[in-house]
Each structure stands twice: as C-alpha cells, then as structure tokens.
Amino acid sequence: DSGVTQTPKHLITATGQRVTLRCSPRSGDLSVYWYQQSLDQGLQFLIQYYNGEERAKGNILERFSAQQFPDLHSELNLSSLELGDSALYFCASSRTGRGGSGNTIYFGEGSWLTVV
Amino acid sequence: DAKTTQPTSMDCAEGRAANLPCNHSTISGNEYVYWYRQIHSQGPQYIIHGLKNNETNEMASLIITEDRKSSTLILPHATLRDTAVYYCIVRAPYNQGGKLIFGQGTELSVKP
C-alpha cells in the first residue's frame, strides 16, 4: 500500500458526460501528480500541483482540469468525455518536487474510466 | 527532460540475477535516476533511485557509471513475481516540478 488513495476505482460513463476523480496523497505530501495510461499511449504525465498551486503541465486536454484543495487532496475533472478518454488514471504524490531521498513519488492504484 | 533508452524486452531465468540497462546520455549533474516497475495494470511501484553513487535497498541495486550516462538495475534473485515493465526515468529538476516522464520501459519476463 503506497498510501495514495484514489476513488473511484472503476467508473463507466457515457460520451459527453463529466466525471471527477479524487486523490488523497500520502500524509505529509504536498505535491500531487496526475497521469493517464491508455493502451496505445503508455503513461502520460498530465499535471502537477504543489501545495495548492499548479507546478507543471503536461499533455492535458483543455476538456480536463484539476485542482488541489487546502487539505491537499486533489481532483481531476474530465468533461465532454469521448471514447478515447477511456484509460487508467493515476495519481501520485511526493513530499516536495525535489529529487533524492525523502521525496520519492508514490503512485496510487488508479481509477479505471470506461467511456461508452 | 532528459530522455532514457531501454531495451524493449528481456528474459531472465528464475533465481538468476536480472540486469536491466538504461542509457541517459543527456542527464544533467543534479538530475536523479529513478527506477519504477509496473505489474500488469497496477500503479507504478518505486524501486530505487540514485544520483552519482551506487545504491542498494531490499529490492534491488542500482549501478550508475562514473560519467552518469548510463545505469543498470540489478534484481539479484529474480522470481516470477518480478515479471513486469521496468521504467528507468531521469526525474525532472525541481524548477520543472520534479515530475517523472515515463518512456516505454523494459518488459522483463522471468521464466521458470
């Protein structure tokens, strides 16, 4: 158990809908990262937050947005869903964004999203 | 982001050491090398990391060349449960958020 909690574990929704994925980081971790893994794309970095502020942005679509709340949990909002958004979405956390010991990035078990 | 190059796949006999190579020739002096693995569709699992020196923990050893342009992850006694995709990643510097950018990794198959 990495200590990173993601909900829901599985979600099935229709095209055009909107969903929210939730992530609770490890206790004491200030940095949260979101990744998308689809069959043909591998693990893609979406976005990172540090202590409530956006820190880095990757290949995140405009239909997607995220935020980190004062209690440090994070939500990834996916709207106007398309079939191609079906994927496994991972959240990860670390104490800070620095490398080295004490700042390892740990991943949750992911949220499976199926768009039908 | 410094890129890494890994073999697409490797086989290893159960009980033998698995040596997974990685090239990272564009790595900068303050960038760390991290190794993760992903078993089936589970969350990536942290294995080990290093900057300049060789490192060892309960899971594996990491050997980094003196010029830091390549490294090798060693699983000393591979078991069937070590079958997974192994990712070698140069972690982005702090001023770029310290994120991990995953490549395609090495698919390691441990065979009886």
Confidence class for position B92, pLDDT limits 50, 70, 90? confident
B21 with B75: CB under 8 angstroms?
Answer: no
Tens digit of pLDDT for each residue in B25-53?
A: 999 888 899 999 999 889 999 999 999 98
The 3-state DSSP class for residue A55 equals strand
Which pLDDT does position A87 carry in this prediction?
97
Helix (H) or strand (E) holding B92: none
Residue B32: closest C-alpha in chain A: A99
Residues of chain A with pLDDT under 70: none
Among residues B89, B94, B88, B56, the alpha carbon closest in space to that of B75 is found at B56
Distance CA B89, CA B77 (A): 23
Question: Which residue does chain A place closest to B30, by CA atoms?
Answer: A99
* Interface test with chain A among B100, B102, B104, B106, by most A beta carbons within 10 Å: B100
> How would residue B1 be classed by pLDDT, with cut points 50, 70 and 90?
low
A35, B13, B14, B59 from B34: Cα distances, Å: 17, 24, 24, 13
A58 contacts B99? CB cut-off 8 A: yes
How many angstroms separate the CA atoms of B3 and B13, rounded?
Answer: 29
Measuring CA to CA, how many Å separate B71 from each of A4, A37, A100, A101, B26?
A: 29, 26, 16, 18, 13
Query: DSSP assignment, residue B81?
Result: G
pLDDT at position A111, please?
A: 98
List the 3-32 stretch of B: residues with Cβ below 8 A of A.
Answer: 30-32
* Contact criterion met (CB < 8 Å) for A56 and B99: yes
Query: Would you tell me how many other CB atoms lie within 10 Å of the CB of residue A73?
Result: 16
- Match 């979406």 to its residue by tokens: A46
Nearest CA in chain A to B37: A107
pLDDT digits (tens, 9 = 90+) for B58-91: 999 999 999 999 999 999 999 999 999 999 999 9
Instruction: Fill in the amino acid letter for B61.
Output: S
- pLDDT range class, residue B2, cuts 50, 70, 90: low
What DSSP character marks residue B97?
T
